[in-house]
Structure formats: structure tokens, C-alpha cells
Structure 1
Amino acid sequence: MPDFPVDVADEFRECFYVGGRWVRAGAGRRVTLVSPSTERDVLTLPLADSTEVERAVAAARAAFDTGPWPRMPASDRAAHLKRLAEEVRGRLPLLAKLWTAQVGAPIGFAEGLVHAGESRFDYYAGLVEDYAFTERRPTRRGHARVLREPVGVAALVAPWNATFNIFAHKVAAALGAGCAVVLKSPVESPLDALVIAECAEAAGLPPGVVNVITADALESARLVGSPAVDKISFTGSVPTGRRIAEAAARRMVRTTLELGGKSAAILLDDVDLSTAVPALMPFVMPFSGQICFSQTRVLAPRHRLAEVEEALLAAVRSLTVGDPWERTTDVGPVLNERQYRRVLDYVETGRAEGARLLTGGGRSAGFERGHYIDPTVFTGVTPGMTVAREEIFGPVVTIQAYTDIDDAVRLADSTDFGLSGSVFGADAERAFEVAARVRTGHLAVNGFEISPNVPFGGRKLSGHGREGGPEGLEGFLETKAVFMPGS
């Protein structure tokens, strides 16, 4: 198999998509993609310079200020979104392969999850058709017309771990609202957004409505700091999110920030482990734990701790570590050498702070090359330990014991994050009552699900704002009230 076993268009290799055209990048810096499984250089692509960032923003600005997109009837935008969804649907196999080729997601995992991204375009096409962009409310003098208008030019920034799906969340809602967008691709996975650009072109979206560049941290800062940008939607790390929030606050620019998590799965005292553990496992360390909503902390009743340890240990040891292109692989490599060292440093910290290692904790046997880490389980973990508080973003899960429900909720809330979580128990309504007490943005009972019509987002350091559902559309809208005489 070649190092980069995906045939990508020539335009993707040398161009950005700006103003409705494939524009050849200048002779500036480039980024080299490195295979997570072989550690070999596989592809070299251009990085935008300051001029190219400014051109992309200017194209979006012109499309919003003078183009038809924000002014056309919502039903027409919905029709465009439906065509865009069809174009995306035809490229799902390509998008799955790109996920594997660029960042090492197991191909079976990728093929299953790209459909979640596709569903966003269909959902927002349907929502926009019926959404009340104008509402009448009675007043003393007559009535008011409440208008929900597109916020303007939106800078959309996605991370490397699930680039297409995260962009789909943002793009579908922003376009449905009537915004013009600039997609800033991550340097580790720059190809996904170019596929979206190809889909937008094929669907006949007006020029400048969708623009795509790949940029590093310096030029990304130039994008989000541009005075021509009205909205920033960012998914990524807490430090970068803070910098964006500070820059946005200076201009009062609207932001949506999703900054990661340290989510807890609470196993109630009446839980049936024979059903709960299989339901939980796909979300404990999906994509080697490199997913923001991973359920990385398992909270177990103290009197059932040994039972939970045994069940979780057996499940984790049954995972197949291997080549991400093999369909039997459950756990592939982590992204790169930096990520590999970071995860193993956390493992050593866990040991040093007194956590007990049940399995894993080092390089996977049989892999001389590639960033492979054995699935790792810690028990004897207490709330103050680093592995219980910080997002590791690797195949590491911890087990913590609790004494009663109040203690379980306290432990679930004992980190600075509040993105996701889950509760497992024999009585779903009792589990719901526990879930309702946890200070996090998204939870599930006796399973896990992400749906396009349901809001997703976090609290505390996990960020603010929501993506998905009507809430996701409203994140790209401004509200205006016009008072009118008469009824």
C-alpha cells in the first residue's frame, strides 16, 4: 500500500478555494503530512500567507455584503443545502479514507462516523425551510417584528481529530443562517475542508459564500483577528480558545468555543455490567481516545469496584491494536510523536502520583514504527491526580470509586471541564435524575448518541455556545426588533 493511498484532486495539492475559484497558492511555506502508522512523509501541501488569508476574508465579505446568499429566501438556501448534502453523500468514502490517511483513524471507525457529518447538512436544510426568521409580537402601540438575521462573515476553525464532522456542524448551520464562511483547515488534516469546497462548487453555491484555506497558528490568528470577521466558531484546545476569546472580546465579536473535555461515565449501583460495558466501550477511547467527548473517567460504586475493574479490564484487553487500514483494528496510532510523548508522560505522572496501572501504559508490542500506545487503564485514582483532571487525548481511561450518588456527582464535576458524560443503570429514569445533576453540556443514559437536532457543547473550560439543533443555527444569527404601529 502506498504511503498516501488516497487519490486526491490536483487542485487539493496546490490550491485554496477563494471567491468561487480554485486559486493556486503562492510559493510560500508548505506543510508535510506524516503518516501516524509509518512515520513517513506522505504529502506536501501549501500553507496560506497573510495575503491569502486576507483574500479569503475579503471574498466572504463581498459575498455577504453584496451577494445574493443572505438575501435569498430561506427556502432557496435550503435547496442549495440539499444539493450540498447530496454532493457530500457521494464523497463519504473519500472522506473516510482521508480521515484514516491523514491522522490514523481506524477505517471502520471513520466509515461509520462520517455519516454523522453528512446528517448535519440534511438536518439544517430541513430546519431552514420551516424556521421562523421573522416573528410578530403584539405591543401596546401595535406590534413588533422580530427579525433573525445572519451574523455576517464567519470564521470556522476545526481541529485535526475529526475535521470533516466538526466542519459539517459549523458549515451547515452557518450557511443555513445566511452567513458567508471562511474555513480554516488544520495543518494536520487539510484535505477535508477542500472536499467541502468541491461540494459547494458542485452544488452551485454563489461565489465567496464558502472559502477554504489551510493556515498555521500565526495566520490563523490573523484570520480570527480580522475586523471583517463577525463570528468565530472554534473547536480545539483551551489555550487557543482563550486567546481567541480575548481577541474577540476586544471587538465584541460573537464566538462559539468547544474546548475539550474530561467526561465521566457513572455506573450506578444497580447497573448490569454485561450490557453497560459493551455499550460504553466504543466511547471510552474512540480513535485512540482522541475525541473530545471520550468517556475517559469511569465512576464505580465502591462496593462493586473490583467487579467493574474486572469487566473493564477484560473489555479493554480485547481491543485490537493495529494498522488503521485494517477493518479489524479497534485502536490505531495516535497522531504524531508529540502526541505520543504527551500521552506517555501522563501515564508516568499517573504512576508517580499513586494510581495503579491495570493494563497498558507503554508502546504497543510488535510495532517498530508508528505512534502506537497500548490501551491503558488506571484504578485507585483520586480526584486530585493529574490523570483524573486533565484531558490526556490518548487511549487512557481511569476508574474512580464513589460511596453514594452525591459522591458520584461530586466526582463527575471535579474537573474544570464540562463537555459530556453518561450514566448507566437498571432504571433509566433514575439514571436521568443523576444525569440532570451533573454540570456538563451533553449526557447520555445507558448508551451514547450524537444527533444533528440536539445541541452539543460544554460548560466551564469546555467552552460556550452550542452546535447542532436550532441552537446551532441561532449561534449564527443576530436578533433585531422593529416596532410597528397597528396590529
Structure 2
Amino acid sequence: MPVDQIGDVYVAGRWRTSRSNEHTVVTNPTTEEPVARVVSGDAADVDAAVRAAADMAATWARTPVPERCELVRRLADEIEARSDALTRIITTENGTPVAESAHAPAQAAAHLRHCAEVGPAVLAADIRPNPMAPGDTLVQRRPLGVAGLITPWNYPLSLIVVKLGPALVAGCPVVIKPAAETPLAARMLMDAVDAAGFPAGVVNLVTGGGRTGQALVEHDLVRKISFTGSTGVGRSIGEECGRLLRPVVLELGGKSPALVLDDADPAVIAATILKVSMRNTGQTCKACTRLIVPNTRRREIVDLVCDVVASAPVGDPFDPATFFGPLVSERQRDRVLGYQEIGRHEGAKAVLGGGRASGFDRGWFVEPTVFDEVTPDMRIAQEEIFGPVLSVLGYDELDEGVAIANGTPYGLAATVFSRDEERAAAVADRLEAGTIGLNHYGSNAAAPFAGHKASGLGVEFGVEGIEEYLALTSVHRLPRG
């Protein structure tokens, strides 16, 4: 099977031959066959992209907000027009089951339209009387300038768009650096950008790995970095941005809890646990992979969860019935297998799964796994695995359950299960997490998404996500007349 050789980057409104001779092989995780060899852009490519964005910064900032928002709406339309193709690319390069990836274009379009809808109000200046002296102050919200957007492989379209929409509405031209493992959806997104009619240089794309991202973070003309990925890499980026006094958003890892109260409805748990804990084959930063249950109901809930997980099909991600596809790479497969072994070595009991999935002669498949008899100090209860591995921990008193839920370095997300929503909400108030679901887990483009503790800095989604790309300026005025 011939492998596409892709050697260009998207700079100043067109595809240009990269200056780099290095490439990354994009591999289909289901077949283990190469799909494409995509260029790993070097510092010269990054420089060209950043300078193209910087050349447009003043023009794009002066473009009336309604015009910027209209272009963002057109981009939403162009993404939807490519829905089928984007779905195929995401599943091919990432292994995301098509039942999941088929929603990505529509969700991306909805996010863009929301940004365009709320943008004018966010960007409007306001006048504030001065309580200390005569006169007033005009408070302006100005775009920061060139924004570098660095995104991971697990949601290769969605996690670009949640940064791109706010940046564009705010008036910031961008340089996108997608994950090396999954650059193809990002390249198709540039075709949509072109068709939407954005001025050349407003949106730029350079593919590559860590060195490409580092060149973007360190570039003198970049005024904002938004990164989604591991906490380890996020710390390094945060340190560099701190040295440069450069604003940064870091959406990082998680080890989120699903806290089951003693009155929880088993039917609700059964209906939602897969999405709460194992969406996208567990490759989701906000997945609630610690199931914290009252010991009085432990056996019942473990049996219930095992039945639900065991009944979810593992297989070809292009089959609409499949819930668990392959992991994105051989490296990620081996990482998950390693954590399964760590769990057994530490004394946890694999009551479901615990190894490679059987019946596949190729593809990076692992068994969906449920560990019981997990204690809070175990590595599988503390460290992000990023695969279909659920750890069950027990508690006797609710205070103990809350302490276990809060007992990791992370604070990204959580879920509380209870028949009594007021009681669940009261428990949610005690959890150290940026996003909490009651009896389910979801997201809302209109509500802020922000990690606490080692799960990150800054905000995405909502009007707050647009504000991340703006700088405040106060213009003080004397009384008229």
C-alpha cells in the first residue's frame, strides 16, 4: 500500500514546502500500517508561520468583531461540510471508534458558533465612573497578539477548535501545532479555513513533535500559548512562559473520581459509567477512572460495572457498534499494559480484563479492565494511565470517600452519583475539581473548563475562554466640558 509523503506546512494562506527533511510516520492503530509520512517542521518553519501571523496581527485586531465572528461561523459551516471525511480521518489516524468520532465535526461547529455568538459582548468596552476623582475610565479588551496552539492526539479536531474559536474571535492570529501522531485532521481543518475565507496569515499550521512545539513556545513574536497535554510537558511549558512573562493556558492531566454515594441508583450508574470513565477507549483527560464506592455496596457495584464494561464491544473502530477501539500507538498500548502489571504487583485484583485483547492478530488493542481492592496509595490510583482501566476504591464514611476523591495531585473533573441531587451537589461542593457532573459527566461550550491543582492553569470554553486571549487596557478620561 503506497504511503503519502506530506512535506508541506500551511503558512500565510497556502501550503508551502517545509524546510525540514524530518518526517513522522502516521500509523493506523487498527491495522498497524503506515498511512502517511508527515513533515516534522523545524525552527525555520515555525519562524515563517509566526512571522506570517505577526504580520497580520494588527490588521486582524482592527477587523470589526462582527466580521471576525462571521468568518468563524463560515468555518463552522465548512467543518460540517467535511463531516464524513473528518470522521474517517480521525478514526484512521487515532483509532477513535466512529460512534465517537462522528460527533466531532458537529461539536466543533457548535463550539465555533457559540464563540461567534458571545464574542461581541465579551469584547465590548465599558465605561466605569471613577470613585476617587472626577472623570471616568474606558476599559478596553484588546487581543494579545499571535497565539501558539499546541494540541494532543486524543481528540485531534475538537481540541484544536476549542482554542481556535476563542483566539480568532478575540482577534489573535494563530499558529497551530497538532500532535505528531495525528496531524491529518488538522490538515483538513486548514482546507476548511481556506474555504471559509480567512485572510492569509490569520491561521497557520506547522506539524511536528516536541522540538516543533518548543520552537513555537520560545519564539519572540508569540504573545500567548495554549497547551493541552500531559502535566509533565505542561510544567516545562509553564516554566518557559513564566521566564518570558508570556500568558499561558495549560489544560493538563487528570485522575478524576466518580464518587458513588450510598443511595446511588444502579440503573443510572449502568447507563453512564462507560461515558464517565472509559470514553474514547479511556484516552480522555477528564475520564473518571477512580470509582469510589461505599463498602456496603461494593460487591453489587463492582459486579454491575463489570457487566456493563464486559458487554461493550471491542473491535474495529469503523464498526458503529464498537465502543472500545485500539489505543493510539504501540507505545501507548505498552504503557497501559505496564500499568495493568503494576496494579497486579501492588495487590489490586483484576476482576475484568487485565491484558491484551484476544482475537486480534494486529492492532494496539487492550482489554477493558476493572481493578478491585485498590487502595489510595497505589500507582494505579494516583497516576494517569490514559487507557480503559478503572480502579475501584472503597470507603466506610462519606468523609473518607471525599478525602479519597481529593487525594491525588490532580483536580480536573469528577462525578457524584446519588438519587438525591441536592445531596450530590453538596458533596460536589467539597470536591477539588474544575468540572463536576451529577449522575453523569458532560461538557458545555458555554461553561468554563478549568483544571485545579496539577491539572492546569487558565480556562477554556465559555466567555472565560475568549477572555484568555485578551489584554485589559484602561483609558482614564477627564470630565467633559
TM-score (normalizing by structure 1): 0.96
Give 2:61's aligned residue.
Answer: 70
Q: Conserved in 1, the CA contact under 8 Å of 2:104 and 2:157? A: no
Cα shift at 1:306: 0.8
**Are 2:384 and 1:391 aligned?**
yes
Distance in 2 (CA, whole Å) between partners of 1:432 and 1:93 is 39
Aligned amino acid, residue 351 of structure 2 = L
**Are 2:98 and 1:107 aligned?**
yes
**Are 2:215 and 1:219 aligned?**
no
Cα shift at 1:132: 4.4
**Are 2:344 and 1:367 aligned?**
no
Q: Conserved in 1, the CA contact under 8 Å of 2:369 and 2:389? A: yes
Q: Conserved in 2, the CA contact under 8 Å of 1:3 and 1:40? A: no
Secondary structure of the structure 1 residue equivalent to 2:472: strand
Cα shift at 1:408: 1.5
Equivalent residue for 2:51, pick from 58, 80, 83: 58
Give 1:415's aligned residue.
Answer: 408
> Where does structure 1 lack aligned partners over 5 or more consecutive residues?
5-9
Q: Conserved in 1, the CA contact under 8 Å of 2:169 and 2:466? A: yes
Q: 1:276 to 1:46 in 2, by over 3 A?
A: same
Give 2:76's aligned residue.
Answer: 85
Secondary structure of the structure 2 residue equivalent to 1:466: coil
Cα shift at 1:280: 2.3
Aligned amino acid, residue 105 of structure 1 = T
**Are 2:138 and 1:153 aligned?**
no
1:171-210 alignment runs, 5 A limit:
171-210=164-203
Secondary structure of the structure 2 residue equivalent to 1:282: helix
Aligned amino acid, residue 337 of structure 1 = E
Q: Conserved in 2, the CA contact under 8 Å of 1:266 and 1:298? A: yes
Cα shift at 1:116: 2.2
Q: 1:471 to 1:114 in 2, by over 3 A?
A: same
1:281-360 alignment runs, 5 A limit:
281-360=274-353
Distance in 2 (CA, whole Å) between partners of 1:207 and 1:132 is 23
Secondary structure of the structure 1 residue equivalent to 2:225: strand
1:242-257 alignment runs, 5 A limit:
242-257=235-250
Distance in 1 (CA, whole Å) between partners of 2:303 and 2:95 is 29
Secondary structure of the structure 1 residue equivalent to 2:219: coil
Give 1:7's aligned residue.
Answer: none
Aligned amino acid, residue 229 of structure 1 = V
Equivalent residue for 2:124, pick from 130, 133, 138: 133
Q: Conserved in 1, the CA contact under 8 Å of 2:76 and 2:108? A: no
Equivalent residue for 2:86, pick from 69, 85, 95: 95
Distance in 1 (CA, whole Å) between partners of 2:104 and 2:39 is 28
Cα shift at 1:27: 5.7
Give 1:44's aligned residue.
Answer: 37
Cα shift at 1:199: 1.6
Task: Give the paired residue count.
Answer: 478
TM-score (normalizing by structure 2): 0.97
Q: 1:47 to 1:391 in 2, by over 3 A?
A: same
User: Can you list the C-alpha shifts for 1:115-144, whole angstroms capped at 9, x where unaligned?
Assistant: 222211110010113334301000122100
Give 2:273's aligned residue.
Answer: 280
Q: Conserved in 2, the CA contact under 8 Å of 1:13 and 1:44? A: yes
Give 1:471's aligned residue.
Answer: 464
Aligned amino acid, residue 135 of structure 1 = D
Percentage identity across paired residues of the two chains: 37
Aligned amino acid, residue 469 of structure 2 = F
1:257-276 alignment runs, 5 A limit:
257-276=250-269
Cα shift at 1:222: 1.0
**Are 2:32 and 1:25 aligned?**
no
Q: Conserved in 2, the CA contact under 8 Å of 1:32 and 1:45? A: yes
Give 1:454's aligned residue.
Answer: 447
Distance in 1 (CA, whole Å) between partners of 2:253 and 2:355 is 24
Cα shift at 1:311: 0.5
Secondary structure of the structure 1 residue equivalent to 2:189: helix
Give 2:393's aligned residue.
Answer: 400
Cα shift at 1:259: 0.9
User: Can you list the C-alpha shifts for 1:331-390, whole angstroms capped at 9, x where unaligned?
Assistant: 011111111111111111111111111010011111121111010000111110000000
Distance in 2 (CA, whole Å) between partners of 1:27 and 1:129 is 40
TM superposition outliers: structure 1 runs of 4+ over 3 Å: none
Q: Conserved in 2, the CA contact under 8 Å of 1:3 and 1:35? A: no
Distance in 1 (CA, whole Å) between partners of 2:218 and 2:288 is 34
Distance in 2 (CA, whole Å) between partners of 1:348 and 1:365 is 17
Cα RMSD (Å): 1.5
- Of the structure 1 ranges 281-290 and 119-128, higher mean CA displacement relative to structure 2 is found in 281-290
Aligned amino acid, residue 39 of structure 1 = E
**Are 2:136 and 1:143 aligned?**
yes
Distance in 2 (CA, whole Å) between partners of 1:312 and 1:460 is 29
